[in-house]
A and B are shown apart, each in its own frame.
Chain A
């Protein structure tokens, strides 16, 4: 049970690593602000400035505390007992993946940096949210997060084999940077177990609303991995509302041939797909989607016979249908991970249904 290391102790886990427990996930920071703040001895660009760093106990991603850092940064390149090996195929006590949560209060970008002991003593690892990083960095998002976002990175893929020995928390250009839940993991599954345990222990302040549930479910299918992952963890956090929502929302792929449709109803709807008025096209689109894939043969037939704008609009409907099916499959696959993280009997029951339905 290597993940237990993260749940047993909200402590500064390098201690555990040194003690020989070699956990699969290392908490670089979760809650123990008293341990980490004194370690980040340097402030500002040159390191000699008195930059604010404090425990944030109201606005946290998980657990009881986050770190609130004022611009431009607090850091230490050489933290005692930090010697984390990042490698392609991590053995016990080695790691590959990084996960952290961050947000910015105020303007300007946000950066997290790691100092390496190997292959060079330098700030090799930098991730930024926001444009125009002042130093070479991997820009994970062009937009600075104004609410908590979860970022998961493959350190080996991004920067190769390194040994991590220090960290910098860097909010640029004004505003405070909030950082929480900074983990190193051997595998993504290990990280997921650690994050699930942390967010389930940190419930939402109010039950998720229907609008929030709908938004997160939309975002689970996002092409932006940060948006998708953040939404996934918010649904895990609000699983009391998310599970019933998912049970009534998810659309499982049809196992059988679709039922035939009433042409007398469908043909006028198809005609409306090419109507000059957008609201009418949109209403017909919704009505056809509600009738399911049985409408597709009729639309394909009409599309083959159509010309010009009419053909373009019918083809667009068919293309959008394919895209929606693909998106649904992506969301269902991500939902499997989400439900595994929740892990309750209800979640497992829904999980079984999805796994049986997925091709």
Chain B
């Protein structure tokens, strides 16, 4: 028995060295539950890291996966959501300065993070097959202050890999220092995740954006199978930075199709192109987007809530699925329904499950919802009067998954930039 324990201990230690590197030095105290020093005191389950547990390839098989480009507002909401988090750090979409697209993630304070974001389960391996990844690219900026850190959650937060530029004033160890100085202007960093964190496969499940003190900006975060794949996105962002041209109908059709791709190396160039060529793309998009009907969706939500109490199980299940798909847009009506006194136990349970899912800011979208969100991003980047007009229509409510709020936020950012 002792022999077995010793063997297990040695196995833990071997994995620890591989992942953390040596020497491991513990830093300053940290807020409970926040990413920081590794959990060496407890040890960890090798099944969760390294050669043991590894998520299956992402079902899309996409060579490039977007982690952050223009969806900073929803991501910020999903980073350790809760009423008290603003006291630790504020996070949100920032319109004043971004690397690419229309906005970036701005974090002010210590850090915002989530060890396990909904839908994030990306295997990082040495030789990626479709749906597996090896390289990470991100852009960051620290206008003032001494350091900036991006932390990578592995295995649901069983541990964290860290990239640092500047000084490590938070004392989270160990880390990979990518630059001795913090990036005063936007800098793009490309890293080999597999090589940097011990050459063991792991599953990336979340991120921590650590500003340490003051403000830090993050943008353009992608996972790629190869660096060349990542370059396809970054090169597109650069090449469409000042270019604009008249898009022919066939080109628009192709870009519309590409915009629906799960491969960010196909989708993002299409978005950058459509945004740069707003003169032809905005009228095209206007013809294809179904404008929301607030009354109709309110009716759908009310009916679905009522059906949660149907005597037939299949009807109740379908209604739950419908409300889950409508997502945040159904939030106010679900919260209101929970206050009713005539709810059956199952009805209440189903409403509770939906309310928790919405409060936890689930980032997953249906393909149609994802396309609508991308159209909002194109319109925000296009910055034309026509684009603004479309955004006003989309912001009036009625889009699923709370996307009307996204349109409203995009409008607010456009307006703020116009004033500046």
Contacts and interface: CB of A to CB of B under 8 A. Distances in A.
Interface of A: 272, 276-280, 282-284, 287, 309
B97 interface: yes
B127 interface: no
Given A272-B242, A287-B242, A277 B417 contact: no
- Which 9 A-B residue pairings sit nearest by Cβ, starting from the closest? A283-B241, A279-B241, A278-B186, A283-B242, A280-B241, A278-B99, A279-B100, A279-B237, A279-B238
A272 B98 CA distance: 14
B284 to A, nearest CB: 22
A276 B95 contact: yes
Contacts of A272: 242
Contact of A276 (B96, B139, B237, B241): B96
A278 B185 contact: yes
Contacts of A276: 95-98, 417, 420
B95 A278 contact: no
B215 to A, nearest CB: 14
Contacts of B98: 276-278
A284 B185 contact: no
B96 A282 contact: no
B238 A277 contact: no
Interface in B232-250: 237-238, 241-242
A280 B101 contact: no
A73 to B, nearest CB: 25
15 contacts: A276-B98, A276-B417, A277-B98, A277-B101, A278-B97, A278-B100, A279-B237, A279-B238, A280-B242, A282-B238, A282-B241, A283-B238, A283-B241, A284-B242, A309-B96
A274 to B, nearest CB: 9
A325 to B, nearest CB: 20
Interface in B17-75: none
| Chain B contact residues, majority secondary structure | loop
Contacts of B237: 279
Interface in B85-100: 95-100
Contacts of A287: 242
Most buried by B among A278, A280, A282, A283: A278
A294 to B, nearest CB: 19
Nearest to B187: A278
Contacts of A284: 242
A272 to B, nearest CB: 6
A1 to B, nearest CB: 45
Contacts of A280: 241-242
A283 B239 CA distance: 8
Nearest to B417: A276
A280 B102 CA distance: 11
A253 to B, nearest CB: 27
A276 B100 CA distance: 9
A272 B243 CA distance: 12
A260 to B, nearest CB: 22
B250 to A, nearest CB: 27
B99 A279 contact: yes
A279 B99 CA distance: 6
B106 to A, nearest CB: 12
A321 to B, nearest CB: 15
Most buried by B among A272, A277, A279, A280: A279
Interface in B116-153: 139
A80 B102 CA distance: 72
A279 B95 CA distance: 14
Contacts of B96: 276, 309
Contacts of B139: 278
A223 B65 CA distance: 39
Given A277-B241, A278-B97, A283-B238, 10 more contacts: A276-B96, A277-B99, A277-B102, A278-B99, A278-B100, A280-B241, A280-B242, A282-B238, A309-B96, A309-B420
Most buried by B among A276, A287, A309: A276
Contacts of A283: 238, 241-242
Nearest to B219: A278
A232 B98 CA distance: 38
A319 B218 CA distance: 26
Nearest to B185: A278
Contacts of B95: 276
Nearest to B139: A278
Contacts of A282: 238, 241
A189 B154 CA distance: 57
A280 B417 CA distance: 15
Nearest to B96: A276
Contacts of B242: 272, 280, 283-284, 287
Contacts of B185: 278
B244 to A, nearest CB: 11
Nearest to A316: B185
Contacts of A277: 98-102, 241
Contacts of B417: 276
Nearest to A284: B242
A21 to B, nearest CB: 47
Contacts of B97: 276, 278
B240 to A, nearest CB: 8
Contacts of B420: 276, 309
B209 to A, nearest CB: 18
A282 B420 CA distance: 20
Nearest to B97: A276
A277 B237 CA distance: 10
A67 to B, nearest CB: 31
A15 B277 CA distance: 76
A148 B139 CA distance: 32
A277 B217 CA distance: 13
A107 to B, nearest CB: 12
A277 B96 CA distance: 8
Nearest to B98: A277
B83 to A, nearest CB: 31
A279 B98 CA distance: 9
Contacts of A279: 99-100, 237-238, 241
A6 to B, nearest CB: 38
Nearest to A269: B242
B274 to A, nearest CB: 15
A284 B241 CA distance: 9
Interface string B196-212: 00000000000000000
A213 B195 CA distance: 28
Contacts of A278: 97-100, 139, 185-186
B21 to A, nearest CB: 13
Contacts of B238: 279, 282-283
B278 to A, nearest CB: 14
A309 B96 CA distance: 10
A150 B417 CA distance: 51
A279 B100 CA distance: 6
B342 to A, nearest CB: 51
B68 to A, nearest CB: 15
A287 B238 CA distance: 13
Nearest to A310: B420
